[in-house]
Amino acid sequence: MKKQQICILGSTGSIGTQALDVISQHPDRYEAYCLTANNSVEKLAQQAHQFNPAAVVIANEAHYDELKNLLADRPDIKVYAGKQALNEVVEASPVDMVLASMVGFSGLEPTIHAIKAGKKICLANKETLVVAGELMLKLVSQYHVDLLPVDSEHSAIFQSLVGEDMNEVDKILLTCSGGPFRLFDEERLRTVTAADALRHPTWDMGAKITIDSASLMNKGFEVMEAKWLFGVPAERIQVLIHPQSVVHSGVQFMDGAVKAQLGVPDMRLPIQYAFSFPERLPLKGERLDFFKTQKLEFFEPDVAKFPCLQLAYDAIHQGGNMPCVLNAANEVANAAFRKGQCSFLGMADIISKTMSQVSFDANPDLDVYLSTDREARKVAASYL
């Protein structure tokens, strides 16, 4: 069996490191062809020494010399830098699949290049579909590529739909742990810090996504992602707060039957399923024990306390470039909160004001998305 050559966009992040663990468990099937990072030079170099990729890319060109020096003992590994290098490396002929796990808007262009090069896409970068879902789906259809979801929720929905007719779907059930502030009242939410928010109760994720989970913006993004991936309108996507994180999401069909995927919170499972679909491969790790799982709870989200979820629904309904505005403003606000430059509740205020000010375009193309992102970031920053 020919080994599948994988390019990991964002190999030093949470998804990337877990993907490398999956690759290490199946060395007869998978090989890391290229690893990329934005700023994590030392970690990228360590991964390169361990997994022997053909190439590495550091997106921030200021770190090129440092990375080159750290890999001076490995002349067989090609070292590149810059955003254009990311766009080019995904097009390399040996690459069979691309794991898009870069965080934020930065993942859009390299993912588009990978699609146009005919690569299988394992999508962990939800912002790609948030910002440009319609464009992405057109390209996937035009270039006849496979797009497999890696987010645990969307993988669960995908697994629930395997073998089913999409026309039978009544609604999608999108679960959410509720984050660390689920039981806080508004008064307590006014004083929470980034350190508080980064203590996610069930999932091990990067800082940006963990903050988005605390504000429920991440769930809003996932509603958008589900809309594009599964062709179900937002009003038929129901968000369920599920603190135990056992039911990863599911589907209710027209006859009332519900299918869902359950398991322990382990991102390696959806990563591996995207790599191996339609096969299921062995995976070392904890197993769900139903005798220890004493209860499964589900609650309606409180959009008054967590307005970011409502802002996401508003952006979906307005359409056009508004989700792009939402995403850019959120990236600015999220980073500001992590740096102590705005409050937890202040993030939603910044996003809402930005959405009301940035130019609206009902029929955006890639150039509009790029200009919208720049404008929205500038407007959001002005409110800090």
What the block records as the tokens of 118 is 């005919």
Domain ranges of the chain: 4-150, 154-265+287-318
Q: What is the mean pLDDT of the chain?
A: 94
- Give the DSSP H/E element, type plus range, for residue 84: helix 83-89
CATH number listed for the domain at residues 4-150: 3.40.50.720
- Give the DSSP H/E element, type plus range, for residue 261: strand 258-262
Residues linked to residue 151 through DSSP beta bridges, in sequence order: none
∠ CA 200-202-204, nearest 5°, is: 70
| DSSP per-residue string spanning 283-324 | --S----TTT------B---TTT-HHHHHHHHHHHH-TTHHH
- Which residues are annotated binding-site positions for NADPH? 12-15, 125, 127, 206
User: Among 64, 80, 91, 63, which Cα is nearest to 5's?
Assistant: 91
| Beta strand ranges found along 1-108 (DSSP E) | 4-9, 30-37, 55-58, 78-81, 97-100
Determine the pLDDT at residue 1: 78
pLDDT (tens digit, 9 = 90+) per residue, 96-126?
999 999 988 888 999 999 999 999 999 998 8
User: Among 78, 33, 35, 85, which Cα is nearest to 59's?
Assistant: 85
Low-confidence ranges of the chain (pLDDT < 50): none
User: Among 68, 114, 70, 106, which Cα is nearest to 89's?
Assistant: 114
What the block records as the tokens of 340 is 């102590």
Q: Give the predicted TM-score (pTM) of the model.
A: 0.92
- Which residues are annotated binding-site positions for Mn(2+)? 151, 153, 222
Determine the pLDDT at residue 105: 84
Helix, strand, coil fractions of the chain, as percent rounded to 5: 50, 15, 35
The length of the chain, given as a count of residues: 384
In angstroms, how far is CA 65 from the centroid of its own chain?
Answer: 30
Q: What are residue 18's phi and psi, to 5 degrees?
A: -70, -30
Q: What are residue 31's phi and psi, to 5 degrees?
A: -145, 140
Sign of CA dihedral 258, 263, 268, 272: negative
Check: CB of residue 222 under 8 Å from CB of residue 153.
Answer: yes
Q: Which residues of 289-318 are buried (b: 16+ CB within 10 A; e: fewer)?
A: eeeeeeeeeeeebebeebbbbbbbbbbbee
Check: CB of residue 228 under 8 Å from CB of residue 136.
Answer: yes
- Which residues are annotated binding-site positions? 12-15, 125-127, 151-153, 177, 200, 206, 213, 218-219, 222
The DSSP symbol for 347 reads H
**Residue 138, CB half-sphere, CA atoms under 13 Å: how many?**
6
- Which residues are annotated binding-site positions for 1-deoxy-D-xylulose 5-phosphate? 126, 152-153, 177, 200, 213, 218-219, 222
Check: CB of residue 171 under 8 Å from CB of residue 252.
Answer: yes
